[in-house]
Structure 1
């Protein structure tokens, strides 16, 4: 579990995890697709997903983005649950869609704090209105115990933009839930093994 930085940090983390675990499904909670790409081979917080898909670091057919509220030139073959869909779905249905789409593949879970509506995470560099509440997304995370998570991160928390530590608390809680998923999965493996 890695904490902090802009979403670019996911690129080297993905490469390191793929070197150890092989091809991964990407489960990305975000307001942005991060699939911008150009001939100059730009790599930054807005292009790392396109790079990962094109270089075979992630399996686009088993990867999914949750909470997207902006548009990019292409989706790189990833499935998308847009913000308005997330609003209409229950937490259980969102978790089921994630688990169903990844189909048991080893997964990397990345959480850009701007996935949350700015009311729940104002301290980020690129907030987008219309996102889910922290309560809803935490409920989704609680239901992902079947996901074979090999690595995870929480990114884009920006303390200078935060108010009353709202975003920091949300980010820390997301990280705590991710660690809880890891602990639950290990406990199940020990009990079965």
Structure 2
């Protein structure tokens, strides 16, 4: 009789537990991982439609569509032959306690980064990026931020736990260098007169070529330690309807992926994809976009950290 263990080539939706079907390891510090995947099921900081806490599970489920490829197009190498990836599952915290969540994220992420491993995090609402940045700062010092979003998230009027205030607080805490950071896809109101970040708004991003956008990014950021955060609502709702605050006029998934692929020679130290809310999704296309963006980030991380040389 054939058993599960006898067949390694699973059908598309069988045994989809870890991201990209990579091993689940709830003690990743003891592993030989180069990159740890972490789910952050949190949406208590959401100001619009809630549901982002279900994002990590939806992204993992959608990632089975990507796991069967030996080489992810258009890359010329098999990612898992060059880096070890483990999925640490979802962060566990006291339900309903935003302070406990924030403390646990920073502690967990600090331990991972201090061990020399990289972290790819899936939210959750965008507030999760603030404790992640705090953890990465302890290891890498002040960082540049590459921020894909429809909103600047630099608003000062929000509460202590608010998914629209992270990049108001982070520069004030000295964690990120706003003058050498770039926000892409912005198409909502912000205070342009007092805005320290460099902005390539959605209209500009849609009109410029990928090469022009990447040239601006690299000229601004240089070789500074770089944290990449991708709010899925950077994409137009046609490509990512499953999110809490969709805004028309965003980027295509193709353009966003091309921009990320062009970052392979930058000093990437951390990365996340946030705001996938599967309750509002259609045919899992938002979850698939989130899973694909994460996979592209892993490829560029492998290149930027010398794990592979991509021509």
| Rounded Cα–Cα distance in structure 1 between residues aligned with 2:149 and 2:265 | 21
| Misfit runs of 4+, over 6 Å | none
Partner residue of 2:164? 46
Aligned equivalents of 1:31, 1:111: Cα separation in 2: 10
1:124 to 238, 243, 246: 243
| Helix, strand or coil at the partner of 2:184 | strand
- Given the two structures, how large is their TM-score scaled by the length of structure 1? 0.93
Ranked by relative contact order (alpha carbons within 8 Å, sequence separation 6 or more), the top structure is 1
Please state how far the C-alpha of 1:145 moved relative to its aligned partner.
1.0
Distance 2:283 2:214 in 1: 30
Partner of 2:28: none
Are the aligned partners of 2:149 and 2:230 in contact in 1 as well (CA < 8 Å)?
yes
Report the equivalent of 1:25: 144
Q: How far has the Cα of 1:104 moved from its partner? A: 1.3
CA distance 1:41–1:120, change in 2 (3 Å): closer
- The corresponding residue for 2:190 is 72
User: RMSD across aligned C-alpha pairs, in angstroms?
Assistant: 1.5
- Computing the radius of gyration from Cα coordinates, the structure with the larger value is 2
Classify the secondary structure of the residue corresponding to 2:145. Answer: strand
| TM-score, scaled relative to structure 2 | 0.59
Out of 146, 151, 155, the position equivalent to 2:265 is 146
Note the C-alpha offset of 1:43. Answer: 3.5
Match of 2:201 in 1: 82
Unaligned runs of 5+ in 2: 1-119
Counterpart contact for 1:107–1:150, Cα < 8 Å: yes
**Aligned position for 1:60:** 178
In structure 1, stretches of 5+ residues that fail to align are none
- The question of whether the paired residues in 1 share the 8 Å contact of 2:267 and 2:305 is answered with no
Q: How many angstroms apart in 1 are the aligned matches of 2:161 and 2:140?
A: 23
Secondary structure of 1:68 counterpart: coil
Within the alignment, does 1:136 sit opposite 2:243 as a pair?
no
Q: Give the C-alpha shift of residue 186 in structure 1.
A: 2.9
- Can you list the C-alpha shifts for 1:22-73, whole angstroms capped at 9, x where unaligned? 00001100000001113x8634110000000111110011111000000123
Distance in structure 2 (CA, Å) of the matches to 1:41 and 1:114: 21
